[in-house]
Amino acid sequence: PQGASRTEEGELAIDGVKVSDLAHRFGTPAYILSEDHFRNRARAFRDAFNAAFAPLCGGVDVYYAGKSFLCVEVAKWVQEEGLRLDTCSGGELALAARAGIEGPKLGLHGNNKSDAEINRALDMSVGRIVVDSLQELERVAAIAGMRQLRAPVLLRLTPGIHAETHEFIATAHEDQKFGLSMTAVHGERSTAERAVGAALGHPSLELLGVHCHIGSQIFSAEGFALAAEKLLTFIASIRDLHGVSLKELDLGGGYGIAYTDLDQPKEPAELAAAMADVVGATCARLGIDVPRISIEPGRAIVGSSTFTLYTVGTLKTINVQHGEDISERRYVSVDGGMSDNPRPVLYGATYTAALASRRSEAPSVLSRVVGKHCESGDIVVKDAYLPADLVAGDLLAVPGTGAYCWVLGSNYNYTPRPPVVAVSQGQARLILRGETEEDLFRREVAS
């Protein structure tokens, strides 16, 4: 992350705080989060999108996707930086309330919201409920109607653009659980069009506009632009059909980050400019007003802000046979693994690792960094070049673990969750404490 440097002795430091001090104070494994990095990325998205869209529309609302990483402290940073918060469960709404985020600054997602979640969103006066199906539309309308409220809704549409990290398959990608289909079958109206008709017919609903989210860890602006074009065309068709102009367009999240040198993410300004160009040109061509734009980045704000600090334990070199040839592979075990970062085992995600506690002049050898769990798939970094002289007790840093690591973590093998430590201006402080053995037994009924 930003603020990472090496001391004269070759030890990794973050904002001037040495990793040995962090390990001593907080133990390992630990997630080390640069607060300045997080805040700067939040501001970068806010400012870049607002600047690019300023000539076109009133502004852009940036909703931080809390599912990528969230705790009360981080929710406060989000609010302080002028972002809103995208939630997708009653739990995330509860967290937003604890952090003191005002309801109108919140959005609620989910393909299977419970009545309790819908009621909670209405209790909190959230700014938008993103409706995911016709059935849910009726449910929100009924609940709001019963309570004599008007629920602000966005409709989540599936524009049929599916991002496969580097590429887009612009064929209908409809066979998944999210959203309302935009495809008309057998000459009938599409589900999305029917949802608009239904929403307009319910006095208990305030239809704000439409939403889409095309995927995650996407590098090019092309897919977002394609999706924007498709949704704007839909907005124009709704104007022609119902005489109504939908005022808001949310283009979701999904902006990629660099996990390894092979990943080349675009800067927020470049993404924003490309998207604004397409939105401006499409609206002009269709003769519609530019709607208010919103986006929901998660990973691109928090992902690179964090590294996980591990301690090296068992080292083992094994022979690997390829046909006639035999080569060696070194296994470097660390004190965490799939319980604090399940992304390699879930998605085959790639990470890198670096010796953090000291400098080494030893040659690098091909290594596999593995966790401590009872599963052979428990890999942290599949192929890492690490110094030949690694020893137990060395500290390793694995960068890029800010998004979808702590939140997807588990207590597998009765492993306590590690703490999250925020570092800023030479100071480190706990923002989420690590779990204790007590915590592991807190839910036991037997005494």
**CA distances, 366 to each of 22, 351, 369, 381, 389 (Å):** 27, 14, 10, 11, 12
- Report the candidate in 212, 217, 209 with the shortest Cα–Cα distance to residue 229: 212
Nearer to ligand LLP, 214 or 355 (CB): 214
324 is in an annotated binding site: no
Q: Token digits for 124? A: 């909190």
Q: Which is nearer to ligand LLP, 151 or 300 (CB)?
A: 300
Q: Is 299 annotated as a binding residue?
A: yes
The CA-to-CA distance between both ends of the chain, in Å, stands at: 44
**3-state SS class at 158:** strand
Shortest reach from residue 214's CB to ligand LLP, in Å: 10
Cα–Cα distance measured from residue 143 to residue 354, given in angstroms and rounded to the nearest whole number? 53
How deeply is 145 buried, as exposed, middle or buried, from its count of CB atoms within 10 A (0-12, 13-18, 19+)? Answer: middle
Which residue's CB is nearer to ligand LLP, number 81 or number 86? 86
64 is in an annotated binding site: no
CB of 88 to ligand LLP, least distance (A): 7
| Nearest residue to 403 via CA among 16, 15, 141, 74 | 74
Q: Which residue number, 298 or 371, has a Cβ lying nearer to ligand LLP?
A: 298
In this structure, are strands 180-181 and 151-158 parallel, antiparallel, or unpaired?
A: parallel
**Cα 136 to Cα 223: distance, rounded to the nearest angstrom:** 27
DSSP lists the bridge partners of residue 275 as: none
Active site residue 374: yes
Residue 297 labeled ligand binder? yes
- The nearest distance, CB 240 to ligand LLP, in angstroms, is 28
C-alpha 256 chain-centroid distance: 10
Question: 165 or 360, CB closer to ligand LLP?
Answer: 165
Judge whether 88 and 129 are in contact, CB under 8 Å. no
Considering beta carbons, is residue 2 or 350 the nearer one to ligand LLP? Answer: 350
Which residues contact ligand LLP by CB under 6 A?
65, 67-68, 86, 109, 213, 216-217, 252-255, 296-300, 343, 347, 403-404
Residue 18 CB, nearest approach to ligand LLP (Å): 30
**Calpha distance 342→311 (Å, rounded):** 18
| CB 108, min distance to ligand LLP, A | 11
Rounded to 10 deg, the angle between the 72-80 and 90-98 helix axes is 70
Q: Any known ligand binding at 296?
A: yes
Structural tokens at position 438:
């007590």
Of the candidates 88, 283, 374, 405, the residue annotated as catalytic is 374
List phi, psi (to 5°) of 91: -65, -45
CB of 256 to ligand LLP, least distance (A): 8
298 is in an annotated binding site: yes
User: Looking at beta carbons only, is 83 or 300 nearer to ligand LLP?
Assistant: 300
Q: How many residues does the chain have?
A: 447
Least Å from the CB of residue 216 to ligand LLP: 3
How many CB atoms within 10 Å of residue 147?
A: 13
Cβ(77)–Cβ(42) below 8 Å = yes
Quick check: helix, strand or coil at residue 281?
Answer: helix
C-beta closer to ligand LLP: residue 253 or 434: 253
Under DSSP, is residue 98 helix (H, G, I), strand (E, B) or coil?
A: helix
Is 164 in contact with 187 (CB distance < 8 Å)? no
Q: In whole angstroms, how close is the CB of 238 to ligand LLP at the nearest point?
A: 21
Q: Are 420 and 430 in contact (CB under 8 A)?
A: yes
Residue whose C-alpha is closest to residue 382's, from 346, 343, 347, 351 = 351
Burial class (CB in 10 A: 0-12, 13-18, 19+), 238: buried
- Write out the binding residues: 254, 296-299, 343, 347, 375, 404
- Write out the binding residues for substrate: 299, 343, 347, 375, 404
- Write out the binding residues for pyridoxal 5'-phosphate: 254, 296-299, 404
Active site residues per annotation: 374
